[in-house]
Structures are given as structure tokens and as C-alpha cells.
């Protein structure tokens, strides 16, 4: 999403180049990063083209008026076909990893999500996930804590990686009010057409 120590070209710079060409913009192009996806995750992302839009979108994300839906292919089937997970997540900066606890701890932040089983492959279960909070690696950490690590997510307990280095977590859709025109915006990202998502059967 943004530049890091790898030096790889981030998505934000690719989008800036697209805007500069499409709208023939002279000079530097403004682009606000509204939210982030972990590097190995696919799906919908939102950028802001003006500072006013960025400020308003940031507030919408903060108060929870943006509806985000994720799909995750996980090891193991949850004991319940749908439910709500509540944990307290403690982030370890050195490991770039979060740890889930079922009780409050110093410096830990409460994390809440809803999940529902919506499909299967031969060996994996497809979950639909809705976030109530936005914590570091929240979906990855909480699903692993439930005993259902995401396919390919070695950091959170998957037994093997995906061949392309991704994890099978997909930001499926996002719904929000346009920060200027106030029309409803709904964007849905198609599933990656390779690897683990093939052979998926939905309910």
C-alpha cells in the first residue's frame, strides 16, 4: 500500500501515476491512503484524491460507518457456523505480529469481528468476515485463535505457504457514502483467478 524497507513500488505510487496520466495533472499528485491491507492480502482498497475527501473518509472509518466485507479460506471448520469473536490483541512490533487473549491485558486493544461459513473447497472452509474494530492483523490473529488459521498464513499457524506468497484473505467489498456527493458507493473485488480460490463452492 505504501513504501517500505523492501524498496518495492507501492500501490499508492502506481495509482498516482495513473491519476497524473488520466487527468493530465501537472506537478505532484495528491493521494491519501484511507486504509491499508496487509501485503499478502488481495481485494478492495480505497484512496482519496483530495485532502477534504481524505479527512472525511478517515472520520467515517473511525466511527465505523464504512461497511467492509472480507472472505477468508481457513484450515478447519469452526465449531459454530457463525458467531462473534471478541479478543484483546497485543501487538509485538519486533515480530510484526499480534497475540490474542480472551481477557483484558495492559496495552492490549479489544478486537471484535463477526464470521459466517459461506462455502467450502475440498480441504478448506470459506468464511465471510465483518469487522467491528480495525486492529493490526485482526482477522488473521482472531481466526487463528479460534483454531482456523488462514490458508498460507505461516505467521499465524498455517502448515504451509501459498505458492505465490499470498495468504487466502480477500477484501471482498466495501460500502460507504461518497464524502462529497453523498451518493452510496459500493465496490466488489472479484476473487483472484488462480491458486487456492479455484474450486470454491458457495452456499
CA distance 16 to 90: 34
CB 11 within 8 A of CB 19: no
Strands 169-177 and 67-74 come out as: antiparallel
Residues with active-site annotation: 38
**Cβ distance 72 to 139 under 8 Å?**
yes
Residues 135, 89: contact at Cβ < 8 Å?
Answer: yes
Amino acid at each position: 500500500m505504501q513504501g517500505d524497507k523492501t524498496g518495492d513500488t507501492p500501490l499508492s505510487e502506481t495509482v498516482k501515476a495513473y491519476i497524473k496520466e488520466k487527468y493530465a495533472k501537472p506537478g505532484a499528485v495528491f493521494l491519501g491512503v484511507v486504509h491499508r491491507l496487509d501485503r499478502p492480502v488481495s481485494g478492495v482498497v480505497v484512496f482519496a484524491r483530495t485532502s477534504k475527501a481524505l479527512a472525511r473518509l478517515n472520520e467515517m472509518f473511525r466511527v465505523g460507518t464504512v461497511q467492509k466485507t472480507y472472505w477468508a479460506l481457513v484450515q478447519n471448520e469452526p465449531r459454530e457456523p457463525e458467531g462473534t469473536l471478541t479478543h484483546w490483541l497485543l501487538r509485538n512490533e519486533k515480530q510484526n505480529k499480534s497475540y490474542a487473549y480472551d481477557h483484558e491485558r495492559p496495552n492490549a486493544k479489544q478486537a471484535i469481528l463477526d464470521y459466517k461459513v459461506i462455502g467450502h473447497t475440498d480441504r478448506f472452509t470459506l468464511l465471510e468476515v465483518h469487522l467491528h474494530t480495525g486492529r493490526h492483523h485482526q482477522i488473521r490473529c482472531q481466526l487463528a485463535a479460534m483454531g482456523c488459521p488462514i490458508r498460507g498464513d505461516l505467521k499465524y499457524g498455517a502448515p504451509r505457504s501459498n505458492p505465490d506468497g499470498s495468504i487466502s484473505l480477500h477484501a471482498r467489498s466495501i460500502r460507504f457514502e461518497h464524502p462529497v456527493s453523498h451518493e452510496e458507493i459500493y465496490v466488489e473485488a472479484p476473487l483472484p483467478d488462480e491458486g487456492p480460490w479455484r474450486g470454491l463452492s458457495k452456499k
